[in-house]
Amino acid sequence: MYQVKTFNAIAQSGLDAFTDNFQINSGEDPDAYLIRSVNLRDAEFPESLKTIVRAGAGVNNVPVHAATEHGIAVFNTPGSNANAVKELVLGLMIATSRNLFAANQYSNEHTEADVSQRTEKDKTKFNGTELYGKKLAVVGLGHVGSLVANAALELGMTVVGYDPLMSTDAAWNINNQVKRAASIRRAVKDADFVTVHVPKNDDTLSLISTKEIAAMKQGVVLFNYSRIGIANNKAVLKAVQDKKISQYCTDFGEPIIADQPNVTITPHIGGSTLEAESNGAVQGANTVMNYLESGDTTHAVNLPSMRIPFEAPFRLTMIHKNVPNMVGQIATHLADLGINIENMSNAARKDTAYTMIDVNTLSKADGDALVKELNEIPEIYRVRIIKHN
């Protein structure tokens, strides 16, 4: 029986997806963490922990490198909440174009019985514009960006995208009416709306800052529903104050932008719908089960993706450094114990590699000896023996 510890509000549908082979939040030695936004950056990992699964997209709250060195596979659930973010961004595009927040405030402040005459006069203050015929620039055309781009086309907008690292899968999902730009500055030029949907990493910090804003149209509306820091809030606030940016909407508040006119901050609710939370939790639960019960690394963010039918009675999995002669050493240890390999796969992702070996027979004594010997190889981070259910 495997132990799973959950953090944050994991939807019940996800908890219900676990089979009887998994115990949730009751054991002392968790094999898996199923998390959302909990900050694990300074956390100590128990020796028992084999995987951290993030129900959601961003893994910035997980120290991925340290986890790898502890032999912990880290996963996310790509796309599980993308539609929720898309709908929120589109909703805010309409809300900002139609001055909905100011109009609501006005209506709450004017509640006198004979208000209708006054509102008929005052309502011109809230005259808006339509999205139809306007131009949207989407920076990052992955799970969220592609949905936003396609939906904006449906609303009659012109859409230009920028994503130099776009995957083939993502390319298949994008409507061919989305024009591709060769740089951010070209993408944002002339756009009425700019929205950013990229992961947070060293290359994307301050991806939208003074120079990119300078390339934008006067009065542009900017969205950051990715992560804090991808739009540089200092540069953005100055542009809002200078009226270069007419509205800024973000899911990530910080003091510098709090309570500022023409800045709308939501409290990280991009993925907070019943549907998205359920998708992420169910996908996350399946990821935990697949990894622990078969070593499947589909959607791992720190290991190569490997999914091989588990047909033999035993499977050995090893997370190790991507250096020469690892497979040779591992195979020699098996041969020395007289263990025959039925099936073997090895793949690497940057500095880390993953090896899966299926065997037909493995006594308890041989298994224990093998784990002990392989764990003595300094380049090996984690050895597991998985018994077929």
Ligand X SMILES: O=C(O)CC[C@@H](O)C(=O)O
388 is catalytic: no
Q: What tokens were used for 252?
A: 């990530």
Residue 367 binds: one of ligand X, ligand NAD, none (C-beta under 5 to 8 A by kind): none
**Interface residue with ligand X, options 37, 260, 262, 343 (CB under 6 A):** 37
- The count of residues interacting with ligand X (CB under 6 A) is 9
Instruction: Give the Cα separation of 252 and 354 in Å (integer).
Output: 36
Cβ closest to ligand NAD, residue 30 vs residue 56? 56
Binding mask 156-195 for ligand NAD (x = CB under 6 A): ------xxxxx---x-------------------------
254 is catalytic: yes
Cβ closest to ligand X, residue 59 vs residue 326? 59
Residue 244 binds: one of ligand X, ligand NAD, none (C-beta under 5 to 8 A by kind): none
Q: How far is the CB of 56 from ligand X (least distance, A)?
A: 3
User: Should residue 75 be labelled a site residue for ligand NAD when binding is judged by CB under 6 A?
Assistant: no
User: Should residue 92 be labelled a site residue for ligand NAD when binding is judged by CB under 6 A?
Assistant: no
Residue 212 binds: one of ligand NAD, ligand X, none (C-beta under 5 to 8 A by kind): none
341-349: strand order across its sheet = 341-349, 352-359, 314-321, 380-387
Binding mask 46-85 for ligand X (x = CB under 6 A): ----------xxx----------------------x----
**Amino acid identity for residue 363 in this structure:** S
**Interface residue with ligand NAD, options 70, 186, 189, 200 (CB under 6 A):** 200
Q: Whose CB is nearest to ligand NAD?
A: 142
Question: Maximum Cα–Cα distance for the chain, whole Å?
Answer: 93
Instruction: Give the Cα separation of 99 and 212 in Å (integer).
Output: 25
293 is catalytic: no
Sheet strands (E) in the chain: 2-6, 22-24, 32-35, 51-54, 73-76, 135-139, 158-162, 179-180, 193-196, 220-224, 245-250, 263-265, 314-321, 341-349, 352-359, 380-387
Among 268, 307, 333, 349, the one annotated catalytic:
268
Q: How far is the CB of 201 from ligand X (least distance, A)?
A: 13
Instruction: Give the Cα separation of 208 and 176 in Å (integer).
Output: 25
Instruction: Give the Cα separation of 185 and 189 in Å (integer).
Output: 6
Q: Please, which residues have CB within 8 angstroms of residue 250's CB and are 6 or more apart in sequence?
A: 223, 224, 225, 228, 231, 233, 257, 263, 264, 265, 266
**Interface residue with ligand X, options 5, 36, 217, 384 (CB under 6 A):** 36
Among 41, 254, 311, 388, the one annotated catalytic:
254
Q: Please, which residues have CB within 8 angstroms of residue 132's CB and are 6 or more apart in sequence?
A: 155, 156, 157
List interacting residues with ligand X (CB under 6 A). 36-37, 56-58, 81, 270-272
Q: Which residues are catalytic?
A: 227, 254, 268
